[in-house]
A and B are shown apart, each in its own frame.
Chain A
Amino acid sequence: MKKLADIKGIKKWVALLLTYAVVQLLVSLNIINDYIMATLTTICINIILAVSLNLITGFTGQFSLGHAGFMSIGAYTCAIIIMRYPSPVSFITGLFLGAIFAALLGFIVGLPTLRLRGDYLAIATLGMAEIIRIVFLNLDITNGAAGLFIEVQYTNWLWLFIFTTGTVILITNFINSSHGRACISIREDEIAAEAMGINTTKYKVIAFIIGAFCAGIAGALYASYFYFIKPDLFGFLKSIDILVIVVLGGLGSISGSILAAFLLALISSLLQSFPEIRMVIYAVLLIVIMLFRPQGIMGSKELSLSAFKSLGGIFERRNGGER
């Protein structure tokens, strides 16, 4: 048993390293050009955002509409730091500082609001993100509505790869630990969870803090790749975008979030050639997918061999869906 697990573990690391190396090679050969790289960056950032929101909403069952707010904290923190001290070291410092600030805010906001349920929590988190946006609109250091131009770019494939796989692996491990199960029990039945000795408030806040931390990282990666940030990039619509990825992939499925991040990027770029009706087609596609697969692409399952079979069910209309 032990040996088998080891071999599986080694295989996983080899596969990861190969993925990194192959993409890096394609980048060096310029087969992956700037356009593809930008798409890849967006996908990685969206994976980090979606997987971390999935921890909050899909696994812990807390409906949050403020994820873009946490992202913006990371983006601005990192941007301000690398504009002053442009160096890779300050990029990583800024990235972690941004993540820590986002996590702190998650703690401060989470403690009182996570007592709220369902719709109320959604509105409270929405309010929080709006407040953050308005603060950034009015601060001097963030240059208000005009936003910040960042003349340096530190986010590259190496960092994207490290932080994306890092987020996915750590959150997956968390979900499969006792602490993760405590979070999931809250989603399943909060009263029963409490009665079985789970401090539900604590674990909601923990999920919120981890989620906010990762969103902060995503923001920092964004700021030091795309050269420009402004408060409106991190508004309500951005939070909805992230939620769409999570719901589309499946609440409670990490691989679903990853798959959906790729799928939406793909759809988006295919639709580039129809700029006028792009958003309409995008919306219609979402509606259709949700009609035929209300539990998301993966439901709450993870990608595995047996899951491939159930993938075939995407276009089979389900009777009533799952709850």
Chain B
Amino acid sequence: MPILTVNKLTKSFGGLTAVSNVSMELNHGELVGLIGPNGAGKTTVFNMLTGIYTPSSGNITLSIDGRDIRLNGKKPYKICKAGVARTFQNIRLFKDLTVLDNVRISMHKNIKYGLLHGMFHSRLHSDEEKRLLDKSIELLSILKLDHKKDELAKNLPYGEQRHLEIVRALATEPSLLLLDEPAAGMNPAETAKLTEVIGWIRKHFNLTILLIEHDMSVVMKICERIYVLDYGIVIAEGSPDEIKSNQRVIKAYLGEDMRNA
């Protein structure tokens, strides 16, 4: 049963077609990889899936609880409310806010008190804030960030900023999680740890995950299926083993780093 159906998705920037006729299907609970050389159009796909870019053509359908929601043309916040969350390749945390605030902001969409309750700090407000605090700490502890809740996001080391991106996305309570190069810039030990965590959160939160990752050791280890993008076109799709031996994929990666695969 697919949770996400992408049909002939295309995005052009002026003369450049960054993504061309991409079709994908993600089944509920799957962990799918999206790989391809630099500039292949992976992030552009994410930006269309999350409403940051409007597709030039094509269709994106999210199916949750038997309901189909057409995502293209929807605003990002609506797509988030529909159950899609993401991280950013070039970290986009709320830098000058605390770790805790970064997480709490993602929970705003489900907040149960209104504007006036907030202004007068009513009982409902304090109860809800308590719930938010507890839940944030619970989520932060998954990536061992709970003891840093009062630090500013910008003061975290790079790896922890990437972790916080994941926690922040989880806090929106998604059904589908899009991770854009979560291991970028991490050392092998950190990467191995992260790989484990991604597997764990998928199980624990019953998530479907689409993962963009350059580090083949991660992708080949945890993805059940992989899509390969090159110059905006899907050139291969299959299990990690199929992808590893696919001639077109090897050729596309010529000159790039396929050695860890």
Tier of interface size on chain B: 35 or more
- Which of the candidate stretches A65-73, A130-138, A196-204, A253-261 sits at the interface with the other chain? A196-204
Complex: A173 Cα to B114 Cα, angstroms: 13
A206: interface (CB < 8 Å): yes
What's the minimum C-beta distance from A58 to chain B, rounded to whole angstroms?
A: 12
| B52 nearest in chain A by CB position | A191
A188 within 8 A of B: yes
Compute how far the CA of A198 lies from the CA of B108 in the bound complex, rounded to whole angstroms.
Answer: 7
Q: Give the chain A neighbours of B86 by CB distance below 8 A.
A: 195
Specify which chain B residues have a CB less than 8 angstroms from the CB of A197 in the assembled complex: 77, 80-81, 106, 108-109, 172
Query: Among the listed stretches A34-42, A44-52, A177-185, A262-270, which one makes contact with chain B, having 4 or more residues with CB under 8 Å of it?
Result: A177-185
B93→A177 contact, CB < 8 A: no
Q: Is the CB of B104 within 8 A of A178?
A: yes
A191, A193, A195, A300, most chain B CB atoms within 10 A: A195
The stretch of B34-42, B94-102, B186-194, B230-238 that contacts the partner chain: B94-102
**Which residues of chain A are near B119, meaning CB under 8 Å?**
170, 173-174, 177
**Are the C-beta atoms of B109 and A198 separated by less than 8 Å?**
yes
Asked if A189 is at the interface (CB within 8 A of a chain B CB), the reply is: yes
Give the Cβ gap from A291 to chain B, nearest Cβ, in Å: 22
Query: How far is A258 from B253 in the complex, measured between Cα atoms in Å?
Result: 60
B111 at the interface (CB under 8 A from A): yes
Please report the total number of A residues contacting B with Cβ < 8 Å: 26
Interface flag for A194 (CB, 8 Å): yes
A300 partner residues in chain B, CB cutoff 8 A: 96
Q: B92 → chain A, closest Cβ, in Å?
A: 4
A192 at the interface (CB under 8 A from B): yes
How far, in whole Å, are A178 and B86 apart by their CA atoms in the complex?
21
* Nearest chain B CB to A12 CB, angstrom units: 12
Chain A residues, CB < 8 A from B108: 178-179, 181-182, 196-198
A198 in complex: contacting residue of B105, B128, B132, CB < 8 Å: B105
Assuming the A-B contacts A185-B105, A192-B88, are A200 and B77 also in contact, with contact meaning beta carbons closer than 8 angstroms in the complex?
yes
Contact A178 B111 (CB under 8 A): yes
Secondary structure dominating the interface of A: helix
Tell whether B13 is near chain A: CB-to-CB under 8 Å: no
In the assembly, what is the distance between CA of A191 and CA of B91, in Å? 12
Within the complex, the shortest CB–CB distance from A302 to chain B, in Å, comes to 14
Residue contact B118 to A191, C-beta cutoff 8 Å? no
- CA of A196 to CA of B50, assembled, Å: 10
The A149-173 residues at the B interface (CB cut-off 8 A) are 170, 173
Cross-chain contact A188 with B97 (CB below 8 angstroms): yes
**Could you tell me if A180 and B118 are in contact, using CB atoms closer than 8 angstroms?**
yes
| Nearest Cβ on chain B to A183's Cβ, whole angstroms | 10
Q: Are B104 and A196 in contact (CB under 8 A)?
A: no
Known: A173-B119, A195-B76, A199-B77. A178 touches B128 (CB 8 A): yes
Within 8 A of A (CB), among B135-170: 168-169
Which A residues lie within 8 Å of B117 (CB)?
177
B127 to chain A, nearest CB (A): 12
**CB closest residue in chain B, given A184:** B97
- Measuring CB to CB, which residues of chain B are less than 8 angstroms from any residue of chain A? 50-52, 75-77, 80-81, 85-86, 88, 92-97, 101, 104-109, 111, 113, 115, 117-121, 125, 128-129, 132, 168-169, 171-172
8 A-B pairs closest in CB distance: A177-B118, A197-B109, A188-B94, A197-B80, A194-B76, A192-B92, A196-B106, A178-B111
19 contacts between A and B (CB under 8 A): A174-B118, A177-B113, A177-B118, A177-B121, A178-B107, A178-B129, A179-B115, A181-B105, A182-B105, A185-B97, A185-B105, A189-B95, A192-B92, A192-B93, A195-B76, A195-B77, A196-B106, A197-B106, A198-B109
Chain A interface (Cβ within 8 Å of chain B)?
170, 173-174, 176-182, 184-185, 188-189, 191-200, 206, 300
